[in-house]
Structure 1
Amino acid sequence: MPTSVATDAPRLEVTNLNRSFGGRKVVDDVSLSVAAGQVTCLLGPSGCGKSTTLRMIAGVEMQDSGKIMVDGELVCDTVTRVPAEARSIGLMFQDFALFPHLTVAGNIAFGLRGSRGQKAERVHHLLKRIGLPHYADAYPHQLSGGEQQRIALARALAPQPKIMLMDEPFSGLDNRLRDDIRDETLEVLKEEGTAVLLVTHEPDEAMRMADEIALMRDGVIVQRGAPYNVHMRPVDKDAAAFFSDLNIVPGRVHGGLVETAFGQFLAPAVPEGGEVEIVIRPQHIKIDFDRQGAGPNPTPQTGVPARGVVERARFMGKDSLVEFRMDFDGSILKASVPSVFLPKKGLPLWLMLRRDRCFVFPK
């Protein structure tokens, strides 16, 4: 029997969800919650268990253990299982799966209950909301990819689901169109008050759309939080690397400190003698000119400068990426510089690491 509805319950709550295939655990003790009007992105590489999690929530696949609640009511555990069509959950996938033999209006109205007039009113409202009010009599093959995506959204929203599950829904669109469609989709979903769980492997998409990111790896959610916090306070090196390229400076702890060519770094959680990796993104490296073999003075913000020689410089459109071979160990470090900065190969320059943007992780 369904439990009583808790007024302050999340719209979607997943607790200790597990799923294995052939003895291999694909989803490992996953828990998350999504409030009405909130967008949570399940972010991770292909094969990490994101889509399997989504299918279990949708009801098209059964979990081995764990429970799924909608508005405080139990919809699925290992005993109770509400059918997929009765869960008030909408689905959107990369394949829009519009019915080719139905008009746009027919596609949106498919599965709607009520009188013909009520269905027509809902279809008209959604077509107007997605900016395609005059497309009711068109067929899917007459629409562009972006228009088909809008119709797929309208069809998924037509029954007014409490929750929308989206599995890489924008990956089939070209880059220019994708951002506009994502923003429009997000606006419509927020207005409808729908709780959204979006699966993606693209960090930029998660950062653009999510109120919360759940970073998944090998079936486990390794970090959850607001996009800024997940990006700027990664739990480990792999979490940091998922969002951007990394530079790594190795070191060893002595007396709670790591001595490097860039000065000392604190490592309070690492035992004495432990190896660490100091991680910094290319955009957080500062560059200064060589002054007859001397660099700038050390500062508390950037520490000690270390010299490197330019190996390669490329203009990337919005910024320039410069690779340096460092004097102290011959390693390659990359720096991202706004606008056009293309120093010649062999030019010596000094690099400094922004201390507030460095992460120290055990190796």
Structure 2
Amino acid sequence: MQTETQRSSSGNTLASRVPRLEIRHLVRQFDGRPVVDDVSLSIMPGQVTCLLGPSGCGKSTTLRMIAGVEMQDSGEIWVDGKLICDTVFRVPPERRQIGLMFQDFALFPHLSVAGNVAYGLRGGKDEKRARVVELLERVDLLQFIDGYPHQLSGGEQQRVALARALAPRPRIMLMDEPFSGLDNRLRDGIRDETLGLLKEEDTAVLLVTHEPEEAMRMADEIALMRDGRIVQQGAPYNVYTRPVDRAAVSFFSDANVLNAQVNGALAQTPFGQFLAPGVPDGTNVDIVFRPQHVKIDFDRAGVGPLPTPTDGVAARGTVVRARFMGHESLVEFRMDFDDKILKVTVPNVFLPAEGRVMWLTIRRDRCFVFPTSR
């Protein structure tokens, strides 16, 4: 027989497996064109999920449907295991316990900092004041409690907006590029501070951004969107290192591409052979690799390094341009075999002279082989 403690613990474990937010097969069309096309995802309490993708791919429309300001054409939205919206039943936005943060903080200029944070709070005056003080202390702005938005810096206004969004204790926080308007010097600190507070509150966070670096820094899970659909979803490391296609590689970083044709599960290139298991003979493929996974070697009287299983065959190129980027150097080569440009990044300072001949090899374990889509 279970004790009361065991039953409670078991119940909590079961409850913890229920997503705080779950959307199922959301579809939204404008003028017959699908803007959001069969999007599904779930977010646990305290988890940060990032909808990442280029402008116009449906990220913000998805957020608006979850918030209740946009109605889906089909699909369902669930919060803590309860349906809050389908095409028949709909909980109004103000009853969904969902907080919103956008690039435009939209603070009320005629209200004090305290008034902004208390806006939308219910309860008595003393209860509201206590919640305002608690949150302003947490964002280190209690000294501005009686000030007004125009007296604050951009970073301070952002923290007031965060406190206001947190005040009613939302179960879910929706964030649409909320940090893009901030100075670069402030952005990292305020992002980390914001997420720390949200995790302390056990809030499920859905963040929209078009910046891969921001998504990698903030998210527990990334949902990569393209043309209204989620094309890949998972932990940042997995999305980055196991991209689903050539476009996914290119979205996160510069990418070099070799074109080849498969024969006997091998693709032959000037850099040697690449494995293409399961790809039918005669299939055209793109061999995609990032600049940081190219090795550079010196020319020795027209001879390069010997082939190796790890790096394959060396190919010769001529330096076109070299630039120091701060943490690394970017060197561009014009390759002898096709006269195209190949980009290489090297840690620290490496600035070979224009016109210098060098040899390049590619790490086989860092390449991706995809059937050519064009």
Q: From 181, 196, 200, give the equivalent of 1:187.
A: 196
Displacement after TM superposition at 1:115 (Å): 1.1
Please tell me whether residue 302 in structure 1 is matched to residue 284 in structure 2: no
Cα offset, 1:268, TM superposition: 1.6
The CA distance in 2 between the partners of 1:55 and 1:264, in whole Å, is 48
Match of 1:313 among 310, 318, 322: 322
Q: Distance in 1 between matches of 2:198 and 2:314?
A: 49
Give the distance between the partners of 1:272 and 1:236, measured in 2 at CA. 20
Does residue 197 of the first structure (1) align with residue 206 of the second (2)? yes
Looking at structure 1, the residues matched to 132 and 168 of structure 2 have their Cα atoms a distance apart, in angstroms, of 10
**Letter of the aligned partner of 1:101 in structure 2?**
H
SS at match of 1:283: helix
C-alpha deviation, 1:288, in angstroms: 0.8
- Is 1:95 paired with 2:104? yes
The corresponding residue for 2:91 is 82
Which secondary structure does the structure 2 equivalent of 1:14 belong to? strand
> How many residue pairs were aligned?
359
Q: CA RMSD in A?
A: 1.0
The one-character-per-residue Cα deviations of 1:83-125 (angstroms, maximum 9, x if unpaired) are 0000010000000000000000000000101111111111111
Superimposed CA distance per residue, residues 175-217 of structure 1 (whole angstroms, 9 cap, x where no aligned partner): 1111111011111111110000000000000000000000000
Q: Does 1:291 align with 2:300?
A: yes
Structure 1 position 237 matched with structure 2 position 246: yes
Residue 3 of structure 1 corresponds to: none
1:327 aligns with 2:336: yes
Q: Which of 114, 117, 120 in structure 2 is aligned with 1:105?
A: 114
Within 5 Å, which residues of 2 pair with 1:145-160?
Answer: 145-160=154-169
1:37 to 41, 46, 60: 46
- 3-state secondary structure, aligned to 2:143: coil
Q: Deviations over 1:125-181 (max 9, x none)?
A: 100111112110010000000000000000000000000000000000011111111
Q: Which residue of 2 aligns with 1:115?
A: 124
Q: Which range moves more in the overlay, 298-307 or 254-263? A: 298-307
Q: Are 2:152 and 1:143 equivalent residues in the alignment?
A: yes
The alpha carbon displacement at 1:270 in A equals: 2.0
* Runs of 4+ with deviation above 3 angstroms: none
> Residue 67 of structure 1: which of 76, 79, 86 is its match?
76
1:156-175 alignment to 2 at 5 Å?
A: 156-175=165-184
Q: 1:12 aligns with which of 21, 43, 62?
A: 21
- In 1: Cα distance, 2:33 partner to 2:258 partner: 35
- Equivalent position SS for 1:180: helix
SS at 1:124's partner residue?
helix
Match of 2:345 among 333, 336, 339: 336
Distance 1:291 1:68 in 2: 64
The residue number in structure 1 matching 2:275 is 266
In the TM superposition, residue 234 of structure 1 has moved relative to its aligned partner by 0.4
The code of the aligned residue for 1:146 comes to G
In the aligned structure 2, how far is the partner of 1:44 from the partner of 1:269? Answer: 30
> Given residue 283 of structure 2, which amino acid in structure 1 is its aligned partner?
G
Q: Distance in 1 between matches of 2:123 and 2:22?
A: 30
TM-superposed CA distance for 1:269, in Å, is 3.0
The alignment's TM-score, normalised by the length of structure 2, stands at 0.95
- State the one-letter code of the partner of 2:272: G
Secondary structure of the corresponding residue to residue 150 of structure 2: helix
Residue 62 (structure 1) shift:
0.3
Describe the SS at the equivalent of 1:134. Answer: helix
Q: How far apart in 1 are the matches of 2:189 and 2:143? A: 20
Q: Which residue of 2 aligns with 1:257?
A: 266
Render the CA deviation track for 1:41-72: whole Å, top value 9, x for unaligned: 00000000000000000000100000000000
Task: Give the whole-Å Cα distance in 2 for the aligned partners of 1:90 and 1:301.
Answer: 50
Gaps of at least 5 residues in structure 2 are 1-13
Shift of 1:233: 0.6
Gap regions ≥5 residues in structure 1: 1-5
Q: Following superposition of structure 1 onto structure 2, how do residues 123-134 of structure 1 map, counting pairs within 5 Å? A: 123-134=132-143
